[in-house]
């Protein structure tokens, strides 16, 4: 038995020990009701990527940007990192908490402040 439940995306989910990705079928195709019901019974929750905004005062060059990006990717390999040297800010789209991103950047040698997290 199959049913189109209108779920048409890749959905990161939280599990007790690890994070897994549940790959759902593209729009227009159907997926098994059993798979959706099983995921719900297992208590899987969708995680929606958040935006983290950091002020990094000592980020002065391309090398600094590369170091900051590497630090962020060390915590969340799938993060989207955008740095603005002129404004000395970094915007990160991530599934990881802002505090973990900030700590990773600090560990790389760049003091920073979380300007906002959405």
Cα distance between the two ends of the chain? 39
* pLDDT tens, residue by residue, 67-99: 999 999 999 999 999 999 999 999 999 989 999
Q: Mind listing the domains of the chain with CATH numbers?
A: 2-46 (no CATH), 50-117 (3.30.70.100)
pLDDT of residue 31: 47
Alpha-carbon Rg for the chain, nearest whole angstrom, is: 18
Q: What is the pTM of this model?
A: 0.60
* pLDDT tens, residue by residue, 16-60: 433 334 444 444 444 454 555 565 666 655 566 789 999 999 999
- Which tokens go with 3? 């049913």
- Residue 100: alpha-carbon gap to chain centroid: 12
Q: How far apart are CA 43 and CA 51, in angstroms?
A: 25
């Amino acid at each position: 038995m199959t049913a189109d439940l209108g779920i048409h995306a890749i959905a990161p989910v939280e599990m007790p020990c690890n994070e897994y990705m549940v790959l759902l079928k593209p729009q227009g195709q159907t997926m098994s009701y059993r798979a959706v019901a099983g995921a719900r019974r297992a208590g899987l929750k969708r995680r929606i990527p958040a935006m983290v905004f950091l002020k990094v005062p000592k980020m002065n060059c391309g090398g600094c940007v590369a170091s900051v990006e590497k630090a962020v990717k060390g915590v969340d390999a799938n993060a989207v990192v955008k740095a603005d040297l002129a404004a000395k800010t970094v915007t990160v789209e991530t599934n990881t908490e802002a505090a973990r991103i900030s700590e990773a950047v600090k560990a790389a040698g760049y003091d920073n402040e979380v300007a906002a997290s959405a």
